[in-house]
Amino acid sequence: MRNFLPGLFLLLIFPTVFFAQKTLLVAEFPEVEGIPFVQYTDNGVKKVGDINGYISISPESRFVTLKSFGYYDTTVNVLSLKDSAVIFMRAENALLDEIKIKPGVNPALRIIDNVIANRKKNHPKSDMAYKADTYSKFLFSMDSLFDNSFATNPFQDSLLRRWYNIDTTAMNTAKAADTLQKPEMDSLDKQQGELIDQFFSKSHLMIMENASIKEFMPPYREKETITAYKISGLNSPYLANFANEIQAFSFYDNTFELLGSSYINPIAFGAPKKYAYILEDTILTERGDTTFVIRFLPKVNKNFDALYGQLYINTSTWAIEKVIAEPALKGDKIFYIRIIQNYEFIENKKWFPTSLITEFSAPDLKINNKILNGKGFTQVKSIVLNPQLKKRDFNNIIIETEEDAGTVKEDKWKEERTVALTEKEKNTYQTIDSVAKATNLNERIQALEYLLKGKVPIGYINLDLTKIIDYNMYEGYRLGAGIETSRKFSKIVTIGGYFAYGTSDKGWKYGGFTDFLLNKKNNVHLKVAYHDDVLDRGMVDFETKPRELSLRSYYNNFYIRNKEKQRSAKLSIYGKLWSNFQMGAIADYQRLWFTESYQYITDDNKLLQKTDLLEVGTEMIWTPGAKWSLIEGQYFKIKEVFPTVKFKLIKNIPSVSDAFDYWRMRLDISQVHKIYRFGRIEWLLTGSKTIGNAPLFVQNTPLATGGRFHLTIPNSFETMLPNTFYATEYAALFFRWTTESWATKLKFFQPSLSVHHAMGIGRMSDKGRHANALTFHTMEKGYYESGLVVNKILCASTIGLGVGVFYHYGPYSQPKAADNFTYKLSLVISLK
């Protein structure tokens, strides 16, 4: 009984003491939006707030000192504050280049060295398997440049200073508005402006949500299954993973991805040579270890894609606890962005990301003096380390959207959401859905998706833009039209046709096809096609998808000079046997008419000007180690690990042919590889061979892009005139290294350098069988060229123009050195 009464007293008094703790919100004035990871001293003990800006204060505390990156230190008397009260902090307007690093021993460097040494071990994708659920939400809004928040919000304050070159030190809101020269509006504009303000006061521009399951199994197996997605006004699965793709899942890779752009990580190998580090605080944690708060920023006169921000480092495993980061310089970026990540020590084994926040602004995108802003939240929950996972459950598809993910009911969403939707967010769904329905927004988005593939949907048919106009040196301008049935007609069967007319060869062409989708997940198609057209002489093409509306594909066509007339009936089937292995089979009956007076001499000395062929063959495309996403039955390559291998083998059936019995084969090995701090390397090793007697049509010619059209094309001979060389067997190597763009303060000048080299060799057997052919050479002695391209000398929006010079040397070069030079333009299209 003596022991019972003190115990009863503790049971009664403990909840009182526990619940007497105050939870306060530290926020930016006047938006009441939490400041993440506020450092504060509570009753003499250093602590850190959470990612949403909340801090917990013990009941006996009177004064609390608050510190946060980008804000003035603030001391507050909290004794009289009620639970859930809001404390405001004032932004510090120190410019980035004002920070000076003093010489001497820097204690932050020792900490960073330890973090780098333990980087791989602490990476979420390292030695431990995991399974976790995620919920993500992304909001797009239009916010004014002239409201009070820009006076105190460090993110937007920095935006004013570094985007509009405005020094906001000691600047109030009125002065900021004056500096930006807010325009006067007439009564009509003012009325429209008030309507816009009223709309955005009640609704965001867009809201997106998704839920997914992430799984990882060492050393490299991973998978994310999107189980639900919801987008205001839209029902597009292609945007389902946007909130997760805008920033990387963790902060441990050598380069950190932000909205498609790469930045050198401050904890990457070699980063201390480029970054400066400042130890700002040391915090003793309740677990008994220490958290170091380190500010990082690029060193003076170091010109690279850098970040600046804060790292919270835990000494138990030298792992990241928290990080705040944003690009150090705007450069030519369209978006201004900041990320915040929070990690927790899961199962006392590993620091793991649990909360991710992304904030961005696009100052160039304005409506009524409001700019586009976005904020994304990702909550990682139900984390299990080392769960029971099986290898057979993984393949090369690392992101897959479930078929019914876009039709999840509201009850399911309530389970997924970690915080209920606000009234403004609910109103966004209602308003934008109504607007989208009234304006057929989904149909317009689908039309844009088709347009990127070179098609325009018109009801039950698609207009094929690639068939309207083209150009090559044989046909001249190729004018025509093409149509095919759309998904509205059928999702299984596609029927199409086209016609065309060449202004130089004065010939009409036409054709048609029927395509059956046999298996959606493996993308298995059976296709029957017929055409009466012209085909490139000496090219072994792969059975790929129809040509998209891309500049490079059109450039390639410009240089084609020799073609044969062909009537063809083809049956093909192709699809994926595995996620990284595609295979197809072809049977092609064709009648050829040789052009330009070309004739083939047979064994009995007959001159052939036309012939019938029946070719059967197979094709394989192998992408070892490649990572894919599978959305609506379509595969999209996310990451390329090893070179892609393509192989095609064709056999002519001699019983159908007049005089030909041959095999044709082609092998391509290629890769586009980005290397940390080195740029992008693109290379292609290609070879083709014809075994047996065959006309020039089925021999081999290199892709040559020299001559009248001065546009540089990778993986081609830039100085070689088209159809100069033919070969029975031929091999070539193309190599191009392109550096990263050099960051400059001039938006129109963002140059990068490309180094080009190409070499090829070939051999022609029975050259005497080709009568009346245009003069051509063989490549027994080898063809060599090198070049240098300066890209993006002049930039406008997403387009960059540059210049290049290429030099041909070796056995087939011209005697006069000046005749071996070729000068070209480069055209680069990039969203970075």
Tokens standing for residue 20: 């007497």
Contact 504, 550 (CB under 8 A): no
C-beta separation of 309 from 267 below 8 A: no
Three-class SS string for 138-186? EEEEEEECCCCHHHHCHHHHHHHHHHCCCCCCCCCHHHHHHHCCCCCCC
Residue 20 has what pLDDT? 53
**pLDDT higher at 800 or 154:** 800
Show Cβ contacts of residue 384 under 8 Å, excluding neighbours closer than 6 positions: 130, 131, 132
734 or 200: which carries more pLDDT confidence?
Answer: 734
The pLDDT of residue 2 = 43
Show the tokens assigned to 226: 């999107």
**Which sign, positive or negative, has the C-alpha torsion 496, 493, 448, 826?**
negative
User: What are residue 262's DSSP bridge partners?
Assistant: 257
Query: CB count, 10 Å around CB of 205?
Result: 19
Judged on CB neighbours under 10 Å (0-12, 13-18, 19+), 719 is buried
Higher pLDDT: 74 or 486? It is: 486
User: In this structure, what are the phi and psi dihedrals at residue 699, rounded to the nearest 5 degrees?
Assistant: -85, -160
- Structure confidence by residue, pLDDT tens digits, 166-180: 444 444 444 444 444
Q: Is the pTM of this model over 0.85?
A: no
Q: Give the whole-number percent of the chain exceeding pLDDT 70.
A: 85
pLDDT above 70 (res 202) = yes
Class of the CATH domain delimited by 20-89: mainly beta
pLDDT of residue 158: 47
Kindly state the tokens that stand for 704: 């040559």
Structure-block tokens of residue 249: 């899942």
Q: 658 or 484, which is more confident?
A: 484
Q: Which residue type is seen at 721?
A: L
- For residues 518 and 66, give the distance between their C-alpha atoms in angstroms, rounded to a whole number: 63
Position with higher pLDDT, 496 vs 194? 496
Q: Of 265, 310, 348, 244, give the one whose Cα is nearest residue 37.
A: 310
Mean pLDDT of the chain: 83
**Torsion region of 710: left, alpha or beta (phi above 0 gives left; psi -120 to 50 gives alpha):** beta
Residue 287's pLDDT band, with cuts at 50, 70 and 90, is confident
CB distance 233 to 206 below 8 Å: yes
Give tens-digit pLDDT for 535-549. 988 877 777 654 555
Residue that wins the pLDDT comparison between 194 and 668: 668
Quickly state the pLDDT bin for 13 (edges 50, 70, 90): very low
Task: Provide the pairing of β-strand 581-593 with 610-622.
Answer: antiparallel
103: pLDDT strictly greater than 70: no
What are 562-580's pLDDT values in tens digits? 899 999 999 999 998 887 8
Instruction: Answer yes or no: are the C-beta atoms of 190 and 369 closer than 8 Å.
Output: no
Identify the pLDDT of residue 623.
Answer: 92
| pLDDT the model gives residue 600 | 87
The residue written with tokens 């000691």 in the block is 170
- Going from N- to C-terminal start, the domains of the chain cover 20-89, 131-439, 520-829
Tell me if 20-89 shares its fold with 520-829. no
Whether the predicted pLDDT of 408 surpasses 50: yes
| Among 273-277, 402-406, 524-528, the least confident range | 402-406
CA 206 to chain centre: 21
In the structure encoding, which two tokens stand for residue 496, read together? 């199409």
Please choose, from the candidates 626, 240, 545, the residue with its C-alpha nearest in 3D space to the C-alpha of residue 403. 240
Interval 348-366: pLDDT, tens: 999 999 999 988 888 777 7
Q: With 50 as the cut, is the pLDDT of residue 393 above it?
A: yes
**407 φ/ψ angles, rounded to the nearest 5 degrees:** -120, 25
Specify the CATH class of 520-829 in words.
Answer: mainly beta
Give the largest CA-CA distance in the chain: 122
Per-residue confidence band for 771, with pLDDT thresholds at 50, 70 and 90: confident
For the ranges 57-61, 161-165, 236-240, the lowest mean pLDDT is seen at 161-165
What is the per-residue pLDDT for 59? 78
